[in-house]
Amino acid sequence: GNFAIDLPDADVLIQVSGMFGSRQEEAQRLGRILRPKSDGRTARFFTLVSRDTREEEFAHHRKLFLTEQGYSYRVVIANER
């Protein structure tokens, strides 16, 4: 859910379903994980997207929004076996 939780020690967030929620909710999730860590660690935020699904459209819009907000964004495509 998107209720207020504090994740001060977390340095990885994996979003499995990215088809729901507003851009504001996405920014909140990012803000929770990307807060500066006391030991200087860098946090990472991953979103898993299934190829050839509606998720790809949502991911495209998410990428546009996040890059407009100044976040760096990289797409990594997993190799199929």
Q: Given this model, what pLDDT does residue 18 score?
A: 66
Query: With 60 as the cut, is the pLDDT of residue 1 above it?
Result: no
pLDDT band for position 80 (cuts 50, 70, 90):
low
Residue range 9-68, pLDDT digits in tens: 888 888 887 666 777 777 777 888 888 888 988 888 888 888 888 888 888 888 888 888
So what's the pLDDT on residue 81?
A: 59
Question: Which pairs count as long-range contacts for 41-46, CB under 8 Å and 24+ apart, including other chains?
Answer: 41/11, 42/11, 43/10, 43/11, 43/12, 43/13, 44/11, 44/12, 44/13, 45/12, 45/13, 45/15, 46/12, 46/13, 46/14, 46/15
Q: What pLDDT is recorded for position 3?
A: 62
